[in-house]
Structure 1
Amino acid sequence: MFRITRRFCMAVALCAASAMSVSAFAEPLQKIVLRTDYKFNGYVAPFALAVANGYYKQAGLDVSIEQGQGSGTTVQTVASGADDFGLSDASIAVLGITAQNIGVKLVSVYTQTATMGLIYRANSGFTGDLKQLQHKAVISSAGTADLRMLNPALASVGMSTDDVQLQIVDANARVPLFLKTDGAFLTGFATGDLLRIRSRMPDAKYMPYAKYGVVAYGTGLIASDDMLAKHPDVVRKFVDASRKGWEAAQRNPEAAIDASLKLYPDLNREFVAGGLKIALNEQLHTPATAGHPIGWTDEGDWKKMLDVLSKYAGVHNPKAPSAYYTNQFISQ
C-alpha cells in the first residue's frame, strides 16, 4: 500500500511540475485594441462573436473592442499607434491618406455596397428621381462620408448641393432634426441613421447612392503602416480571426447579437440586429468581389471610387489604389 501511495504522490508531483513548466513557458496573449468608427453598430457584431467564440485567443490575441467617435478620429488613433486596429469608412481613410499622408491602409472592407444614401418619409412622393430634391431640405453633417457622396449622386442628374437646401448640423442632431422637419431628406448610413429613424418612424424609406452609379466602399478594417511593416503576422492573425467571426455571424446571427450585448449590455438589441441583417444580406460584396472571401476588395472598384472622390469629394490627386488597400492578409 505504501508503494502505491508513494508512486501516486510522485505521479501527482510530476504532473504538477509539468503543468507549471508549460505555464511558465506558454506565450502570453498579445493585447490588441480594435477601435470602432462610431459607437457600436450591427456590423461590429461579427467581431464581438469572434471574441466570444475564442477565434482571437486561438490566434494568440487578447482583443478588446472599444467604441469610437467617428472614422476621422479612429484613423488618427490607429495611425499614431494608440489603437492597434480600427474600423473606418473607406472614403474617410482615403481622404486622410491623400490629403494628410496619414499612415494607414485598409486590410479588409466588410460593407461594400449600398452603405450610404438618402432617407425620406414614405409620404414624401419621392420616386427616386433626384431632380425631385431641387429646393428641398437635405440634412447632413460636415465632414461625413454620406455628405461627400451626395454631390456625385446629384451630379448624375446634372445637379449639385447648390440646388438643394442643405442644412449642416452636428451628427447627434441630424436624426432629431429630420424627424421634426416635414418634407426633409437626410443623408445617412443604412446600418446607422436609417435604423435610428425607423425605431421612431417604421415606414421611413432609403435610397442608396449606388442606384445612381456612385461606387464607394464602406466600413473596413485599418492598420497602420508601422503595424503592417513590423508585425505582419499579427495583422494576418487578426484579419483571419475576424473573417471567421463574420462567417460565424452568417451562420448564426443571433449568436453575434448575443455576443454584442455581452460586451455592451446597454445596446439596443433591435438596433444591432437590424444593422447586422443589412450588412450580411446587402453589403458584403460588390459584383466584382462576389465569390471572393469576406473583406476582399477589387482594384477596379477602388479606381471607380477614387475617380468619384477626386471629382466630387475633395480628394485631390489621389494616389494609386495600392496606397489605400491590400488583400495580402486575406486567406483565399
Structure 2
Amino acid sequence: MKTPSLKSLALALSALAAPALTALPASAQTAIKVTLPWVFQGPDSFMLVAVDKGYYKAEGLDVTVDAGRGSVDALNKVASGAYEFGFADLGNLVQFASESPDKAPVAVMIVYDEGPFSIFTLKSSGIEKPEDMAGHSLGSPVFDASFKLFPAFAEATGIDESKVERINMDGKLRETMLLRGQVDMISGHYYSSYIDLLQRGAKPEDLTSFLYSDFGVDFYGNAVLVQREIAEENPELVKKFLRATARAVKEVLADPEVGVAAAKDRDGLLNAEMELARLKLAAETLIYTDYTRANGFGDADPARLQRSIDQISGVFGLDPKPTPAQVFDASFLPPAEDRVLP
C-alpha cells in the first residue's frame, strides 16, 4: 500500500441502515470488560458505538470499554484476566505468544488489515529517506507498537538501528517534543501522530512520514483479541461479541460522525473535526484494502499471516516461533456477508 497524500483525507462512505434492537433484561446480561490500546479516539470508536447503540446488550452482553496505554498494556490486561477482550496490535501479540504461549490472548477479528506503524519527522531535519536516520534520535513511549517494531523497519530498509538513538517519552508529549526540536523523529500510529501534529500547529508540507508498510514491513495492524480460556470454554460468547462488534464497525465506516460522537462523549476535550479526519484517514489507509474489499474485514490471509510471523520472529529472534493458530482464530467470525465493507 502506498502512503496517501497527507492533504487527502476524503473517503467515500455509504449509509448503512440500522434495524431496531431488542435488548435482553439486565439480569440476563454477561458482564464484559474491554480495553482499548490508547485513549478514546475516532478510529477505535466502534466498540463504543456498539455499547451506545445497544448492540452488545442485544447479544446479552453488558460491556464496559476502557482506554489503554498501548498495545502491550492491552495484551497484559487481557492475559492477566483483568479484561476479557482487548484491541491491540497483532505484531505485539506474536511476540507475546512466543514469550508466554500459555497466557497469550488470541486474535479473533482483524480490523486494521494494514499496519499503522510509522515514523514522522520535520522536513527541516534533512531526513528524507531511511538511510538519513543514522545519527538522529527517535522518540516514543516504549510501549508504542511502531517503536517496538522499529528493528523490523531497520532490517527491511537496511539501516543500522544502533545508530539511531531511541528515547522513551510520555506518549502525550511526543508530537510536541518533535515540534520543539527535542527529538528528530517520533514513531506512532500513522493516523494518530499525523492528526496530533496538525492539531499542534504543524502544516502538512512541513512533515515527512515513513509508513512501515511502504518499505516491506507487511504486518497486520490491530485486532480484537480475547482471553484464550474464554475462546476455548465459551465460544458462543466470543461469537456474540464479534457479531455486535462487526455491526458497529460497519456503522462507523458508513457514518464516521457516529464514531466521533461516541469518542467525544467519553472525552469532551476531543476536537470533533480532527477526530473525524483521524477516523477517515485510518479507514483509508488501514481498513479499505484490496483484500478487505474482496473478502470483507476481520479475516486474515493465511500466507500473509505466516510471512508476518516469520518476519517478526526473525527480527526479534523468537524461539519458539508461534504458529498462526496460536495468534489468530477465524472460527468465531460472523459470516462473510456480515463483514462486507460499506
Give TM-score scaled by structure 2 length.
0.82
1:114 offset after TM fit, Å? 4.4
The aligned residue for residue 53 of structure 1 is: 53
The aligned residue for residue 111 of structure 2 is: 110
1:249 offset after TM fit, Å? 1.0
Distance in 2 between residues matched to 1:218 and 1:315, nearest whole Å: 19
Distance in 1 between residues matched to 2:245 and 2:39, nearest whole Å: 18
Secondary structure at 1:188 match in 2:
strand
- Say whether residues 1:240 and 2:243 are aligned partners: yes
Secondary structure at 1:191 match in 2:
helix
**CA deviation map 1:241-268 (0-9, x unaligned):** 1111010111111122112222333433
Letter in 2 for 1:274: A
**CA deviation map 1:276-297 (0-9, x unaligned):** 1122221015544442232212
- 243-252 or 33-42: which moved more? 33-42
1:328 offset after TM fit, Å? 0.9
**CA deviation map 1:145-191 (0-9, x unaligned):** 21232222222342221233333334344333212117812121113
Letter in 2 for 1:247: K
Distance in 2 between residues matched to 1:222 and 1:260, nearest whole Å: 21
Distance in 2 between residues matched to 1:27 and 1:73, nearest whole Å: 31
Percent identity (aligned): 21
Distance in 2 between residues matched to 1:187 and 1:174, nearest whole Å: 9
The aligned residue for residue 194 of structure 2 is: 194
Distance in 2 between residues matched to 1:285 and 1:315, nearest whole Å: 31
1:27 offset after TM fit, Å? 5.9
Asked if structure 1 preserves the Cα contact closer than 8 Å seen for 2:115 and 2:222, the reply is no
Distance in 2 between residues matched to 1:284 and 1:312, nearest whole Å: 26
The aligned residue for residue 140 of structure 2 is: 140
Distance in 1 between residues matched to 2:286 and 2:130, nearest whole Å: 23
RMSD value, Cα: 2.5
Q: Please show how residues 176-215 of structure 1 align to structure 2 within 5 Å.
A: 176-181=176-181, 184-200=184-200, 201-203=202-204, 204-215=207-218
Asked if structure 2 preserves the Cα contact closer than 8 Å seen for 1:120 and 1:185, the reply is yes
Asked if structure 2 preserves the Cα contact closer than 8 Å seen for 1:149 and 1:209, the reply is no
Distance in 2 between residues matched to 1:286 and 1:83, nearest whole Å: 30
Q: Classify 1:122/1:91 alpha carbon distance in 2 versus 1 (closer, same or farther; 3 Å).
A: same
Letter in 2 for 1:97: A
1:209 offset after TM fit, Å? 0.5
The aligned residue for residue 315 of structure 2 is: 312
**CA deviation map 1:124-161 (0-9, x unaligned):** 4444x311222223223334321232222222342221
Q: Please show how residues 8-19 of structure 1 align to structure 2 within 5 Å.
A: none
Letter in 1 for 2:224: L
Distance in 1 between residues matched to 2:31 and 2:226, nearest whole Å: 15
The aligned residue for residue 5 of structure 2 is: none
Distance in 2 between residues matched to 1:150 and 1:77, nearest whole Å: 24
Q: Classify 1:281/1:168 alpha carbon distance in 2 versus 1 (closer, same or farther; 3 Å).
A: same
Letter in 2 for 1:178: L
Asked if structure 2 preserves the Cα contact closer than 8 Å seen for 1:31 and 1:62, the reply is yes
* Equivalent position to 1:221, from 224, 234, 248: 224
Asked if structure 2 preserves the Cα contact closer than 8 Å seen for 1:42 and 1:271, the reply is no
Asked if structure 1 preserves the Cα contact closer than 8 Å seen for 2:71 and 2:143, the reply is no
The aligned residue for residue 5 of structure 1 is: none
Count how many residue pairs are aligned between Structure 1 and Structure 2.
309
- 263-272 or 31-40: which moved more? 263-272
Distance in 1 between residues matched to 2:25 and 2:41, nearest whole Å: 39
Give TM-score scaled by structure 1 length.
0.84
Secondary structure at 1:317 match in 2:
coil
- 113-122 or 177-186: which moved more? 177-186
Unaligned runs of 5+ residues in structure 1 are: 1-22
Asked if structure 1 preserves the Cα contact closer than 8 Å seen for 2:138 and 2:183, the reply is no
- Say whether residues 1:99 and 2:99 are aligned partners: yes
1:195 offset after TM fit, Å? 2.1
Asked if structure 2 preserves the Cα contact closer than 8 Å seen for 1:124 and 1:183, the reply is no
Distance in 2 between residues matched to 1:90 and 1:46, nearest whole Å: 18
Letter in 1 for 2:275: V
Q: Classify 1:322/1:249 alpha carbon distance in 2 versus 1 (closer, same or farther; 3 Å).
A: same
Asked if structure 2 preserves the Cα contact closer than 8 Å seen for 1:293 and 1:330, the reply is no
Distance in 2 between residues matched to 1:233 and 1:50, nearest whole Å: 18
Q: Classify 1:141/1:131 alpha carbon distance in 2 versus 1 (closer, same or farther; 3 Å).
A: same
Letter in 2 for 1:319: P
Distance in 2 between residues matched to 1:24 and 1:231, nearest whole Å: 19
Unaligned runs of 5+ residues in structure 2 are: 1-22, 337-342
Q: Classify 1:135/1:236 alpha carbon distance in 2 versus 1 (closer, same or farther; 3 Å).
A: same
Asked if structure 2 preserves the Cα contact closer than 8 Å seen for 1:117 and 1:206, the reply is yes
Letter in 2 for 1:255: V
Q: Classify 1:143/1:36 alpha carbon distance in 2 versus 1 (closer, same or farther; 3 Å).
A: closer
**CA deviation map 1:77-100 (0-9, x unaligned):** 212322121111112222112112
Letter in 1 for 2:107: L
**CA deviation map 1:13-64 (0-9, x unaligned):** xxxxxxxxxx999862222221111222322212222222221122122222
